């Protein structure tokens, strides 16, 4: 008697279950890490992994929107209270992107 053949559906189902189990393990074990940096006498904190950045960044329409989403409303307000210049914003945004794992050195 021939052994029953595995169907493509059963292989796919098994692979999906294994991938889900692996993802769930990683998700539970991985707590977002944050990097801090100083700018104009204030301390800021951003996620170090781009995957931990809020999904709203996908809806950003400008670089300013991207930076605002990454740092969050409270830190954005703190930055705005420093009365920044456009040059200050450029430096601040470079720091935010670098510290959040999106700098040019990341090898896109």
* Nearest CA-CA partner of 42 in 87, 11, 88: 88
pLDDT reported for residue 3:
59
Strands (DSSP E) contained in the chain are: 34-39, 42-47
Q: Which helix (H) or strand (E) holds 25?
A: helix 8-29
pLDDT in tens, 23-62: 555 555 689 999 999 999 999 999 999 999 999 999 999 9
3-state secondary structure of 43: strand
pTM above 0.95, yes or no: no
Rounded Cα distance between 83 and 89, Å, is: 10
């Amino acid at each position: 008697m021939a052994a029953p053949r595995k169907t493509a559906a059963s292989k796919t189902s098994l692979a999906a279950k294994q991938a889900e189990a692996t993802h769930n393990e990683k998700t539970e074990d991985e707590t977002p890490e944050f990097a801090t940096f100083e700018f104009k006498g204030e301390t800021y904190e951003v996620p170090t992994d781009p995957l931990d950045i809020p999904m709203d960044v996908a809806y950003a329409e400008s670089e300013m929107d991207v930076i605002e989403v990454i740092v969050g409303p409270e830190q954005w307000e703190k930055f705005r209270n420093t009365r920044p210049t456009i040059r200050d914003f450029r430096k601040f945004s470079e720091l935010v992107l670098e510290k959040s794992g999106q700098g040019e050195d990341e090898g896109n």
